[in-house]
Chains A and B, each alone.
Chain A
Amino acid sequence: MREETGRNEVKPSMKIDIRGLVCPYTFVKAKLAVEEMEVGQVLEIVLDYPGAAANIPRSMEEHGQKVLKVDRTGENQWVIFIRKEKD
């Protein structure tokens, strides 16, 4: 069993900054990054497209990945943490 990761335990092994991108390229970029990672590793995504703040977590769950956290860090800025669950 994996423990649910708390705020201080999220250790991303990769970070992408996709500010400026809109859907669907936000998810496409995030998905390509996840493909490069090993199962269990965490991806940190910084974005500023409001639609993607909801779409990326939903699509990632649909693809079988785990959404650990969605933080709103500014009026139009979010940071999302995704843990890779499957290849």
Chain B
Amino acid sequence: MTDLTAGRLGTAPMRPEFVREGVGAQEFGVVEKPLSTWERLYEQSALRKVVILVFLAIAWEVYARILDNELLFPTLSATLEAFWEGIVSGDLPRRIGYTLKVLLMGYASGLFIAALLTAVAIGSRIGQDVLETLTSMFNPLPAIALLPLSLIWFGLGNGSLVFVLIHSVLWAVALNTHSGFKSVSQTQRMVGRNYGLSGPRYIMQILIPAAFPSILTGLKIGWAFAWRTLIAAELVFGVSSGGGGLGWFIFERKNQLEIPSVFAGLLCVIMIGLLVENLIFRVIEERTVRKWGMQA
């Protein structure tokens, strides 16, 4: 045994104690000072992005004018003009409507099947294994690769497109939802059961909201997959069916060498994609996971 108090090597000097009164807030030079207008504007991320967009638009216009070849790279103004014409003639809105209709059908059916699969997966261990195996098999398979098969199975109708869309949505959503359910904290599960909840009420009132950040991520990824897949599928599919949506619009205009219209079609694809991702999903996010402090 060693005596810790024995053999002190050094002692800290004794100092007097003191107690201080706080200094009043008015004594400080700056407590709070508004930022300058420039600083505040720079803080706005939307504004910064608009500036970038304007810059890109100018660069596009200038480069296209220098190139002066409408078949390869039309100017922004020509593209916008073609876009406007497309809108006014009612052609573009009709195509957009057609595309969105097919998209919603595919997305909704994909979500429905994903919900069924996930329900089976939480219900039993073997269901979970089924979901995990299927997901890891089909998730890496690009939906568009199934299009030739789909055309043979479902013919030249919307059925083929919906089938491909379901494939693109289903796995991403099921995978995320399932991993969301699995990661619901043990404490929250116990809280739910403590209230006497079980079965569907337990799933609806505890599991789904608790897993909502993952579910929302799945919905977003599913949407992105579906949108890209559908436009690509229409480019191929349109050739054989002779009618259709936005993808077919692009393909058709290319064949007629109306390149500004091709650009207008692409612009449309970008805008709808941005609109859904930044408007719809952003709003859902802000009203749910952000408000709840559950950002995944």
Q: Report if A and B associate in a common complex.
A: no
List residues of B whose CB falls within 8 A of some A CB.
Answer: none
List residues of A whose CB falls within 8 A of some B CB.
Answer: none
